């Protein structure tokens, strides 16, 4: 079982924490790619639109008679063949979001955490307790934790600190999310991830429970399997009798 050091906001080590191998053990890059693709699809506005025939300006009157002029036949000035005409099969407003299984999302989140730990860019602090709103003080705390690039702050909802949010909102390259809202996309987007100890403990318990449910799925006993097999056999026999 891997361990990680716990620091305070001054950068001092105050303890250690055990990390579960089933969460921080392996990285599935294919699953991460799928999770990021799904997240970015949901972020698309989908507001693109072209005008249809009923929306472009212009009269619906036939411009000239069908025959006898020597010109090409035309029915409307709004024809898509003409300038300022409508667009055929053009894009319309739509949502790019689609269903994504929760089991795959949880697997991608475990892979993202494992990747951060393997790269040495996962930091755990005992608390984000800020006594006052001070951006400069929090910036010094990040420097003490050796954060010199973009960073993601993850806090537990019950321990959400308003002073922390106000102190961190003006720091460039920093984003704050709650532990129940963190997504693999967030962990991959930012260089460092800083968890509070309650947040990573709660997230680890949640991810471990999802793994245990998948691994310990109850199987049907022999009696149930035989009953299902007999029911399928009778169904096939009854259908054959109906056909005959």
Over 60: is that where the pLDDT of 192 sits? Answer: yes
Give 221's pLDDT tier (boundaries 50, 70, 90).
Answer: low
195 close to 124: Cβ distance less than 8 angstroms: yes
Give the sign of the dihedral formed by CA 89, CA 95, CA 101, CA 103: positive
88 close to 80: Cβ distance less than 8 angstroms: yes
Give 90's pLDDT tier (boundaries 50, 70, 90).
Answer: very high
Q: How far is CA 93 from the centre of its chain?
A: 22
Q: Which domains does the chain have, with CATH numbers?
A: 2-45+100-215 (3.40.1370.10), 50-90 (no CATH)
* pLDDT tens column, 203-215: 888 888 776 655 5
pLDDT given for residue 212 in this prediction: 63
187 close to 193: Cβ distance less than 8 angstroms: yes
Q: Which region among 18-27, 66-75, 86-95, 212-221 has the lowest average model confidence (pLDDT)?
A: 212-221
Q: Which residues contact 165 (CB under 8 A, 6 or more apart)?
A: 176
* pLDDT tens column, 91-108: 999 999 999 999 999 999
35 close to 104: Cβ distance less than 8 angstroms: yes
pLDDT given for residue 211 in this prediction: 67
Farthest CA pair distance, the chain: 94
């Amino acid at each position: 079982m891997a361990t990680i050091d716990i620091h305070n906001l001054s950068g001092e080590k105050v303890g250690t924490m055990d990390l579960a191998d089933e969460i921080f053990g392996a990285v599935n890059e294919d699953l991460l790619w799928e999770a990021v693709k799904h997240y970015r699809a949901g972020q698309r506005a989908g507001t693109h639109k072209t005008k249809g025939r009923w929306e472009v300006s212009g009269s619906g009157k036939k411009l000239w008679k069908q025959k006898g002029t020597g010109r090409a036949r035309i029915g409307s000035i709004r024809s898509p063949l003409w300038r300022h005409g409508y667009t055929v099969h053009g894009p319309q407003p739509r949502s790019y979001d689609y269903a994504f299984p929760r089991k795959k999302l949880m697997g991608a989140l475990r892979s993202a955490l494992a990747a951060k730990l393997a790269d040495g860019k996962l930091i755990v602090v005992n608390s984000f307790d800020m006594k006052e709103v001070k951006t400069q003080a929090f910036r010094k705390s990040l420097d003490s934790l050796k954060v010199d690039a973009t960073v993601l702050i993850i806090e537990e909802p019950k321990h959400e600190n308003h002073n922390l949010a106000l102190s961190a909102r003006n720091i460039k390259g920093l984003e704050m999310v709650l532990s129940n809202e963190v997504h693999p996309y967030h962990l991959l987007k930012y260089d460092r991830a800083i968890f509070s100890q309650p947040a990573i403990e709660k997230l680890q318990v949640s991810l471990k429970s999802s793994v245990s449910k998948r691994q310990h799925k109850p199987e049907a006993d022999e009696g149930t399997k035989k009953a299902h097999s007999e029911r399928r056999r009778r169904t096939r026999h009854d259908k054959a009798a109906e056909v005959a």
